[in-house]
Amino acid sequence: MVRGHFPKDFGPILSREQVRLLDRWAVENYGMSGLVLMENAGRGAVDVLCRLEGCFASEEEPPAVPQKHHPGQGDSESPPWDNKKAWRQLRVRHRDFGGPVVICCGRGNNAGDGLVMARHLWLRGHAVRVFLWSKPEELSPDASANYAILQKTRFPVECFSAGHDPERLAQALAEASWIVDALLGTGARGQPRPPLDAVIAQMNAAGKPILAVDLPSGLDCQTGQAAEATIRAAVTCTFAAAKPGLLRPEAQPYVGHLVVLDIGTPPSLLHEVLASSRPE
């Protein structure tokens, strides 16, 4: 089980505006691609989800490592890098979750993180269902790129557009092992609009553990104030740095265990963002 972190472990904390600045400067000043950051975020969240389910080899049983080869000792025709038994033990061992992972996506970059998660879970052999509450043409550019990747692989994405089908969602949630909340990101404020408010209510009522991407939808990342419709997550994977609202005591029932994931932004960039926001 991934342990929840306490505030002293979080390091830097970024406000909503600082998050926007970090993303913009990563692209404009450091030449990083938004798609790379999204890929790192989605794959990192999948790593957390798999560790929660014990999908990696047990840490109590470390894999065997090929021994150093000494000329004249043993079989000279079997160099250490050809030790098949050792390489088999080094590979990740997977275990089925016990049901599909249901990923619920909105239209922004948060949705793109969810689409990346779907691809990596699928590549690791897990059953995944993706629901999208957006028209594909209305997705953010990076989310649209990841949607296109799934389309080319013929991975089914179930689009509700601006509508909603409560019965179809209820059936999917009933069969789920985990639910992923990729509906709303750090830029969202106030009460989620229909139909997302109803979607959030259904997700919470399903009785299944929820992993929130970056923050629980409906929670204000700056203040920690929860809207009437706010995801109650078992785990929240937030990216690059913690946000102040996630650390508020009143946000704890919605955040659950908080994990801060590195998405590849250099420490120097983080320091520049923090320095630019300090009062003179």
Alpha helix segments (H runs only) across the chain: 16-28, 34-52, 84-90, 109-123, 141-152, 166-175, 196-205, 252-255, 267-276
Quick one: which of 235, 239, 215 has its CA closest to 51? 235
pTM exceeding the 0.85 threshold for the entire prediction = no
Residues of the chain falling short of pLDDT 70: 1-10, 53-96, 162, 277-280
Single-letter residue type at 177: S
Write down the CATH number for the domain with range 18-55+94-276. Answer: 3.40.50.10260
| pLDDT, tens digit, 9 for 90 and up, residues 203-257 | 999 999 999 999 999 999 999 999 999 999 999 999 999 999 999 999 999 999 9
* Strand, coil or helix: 178: strand
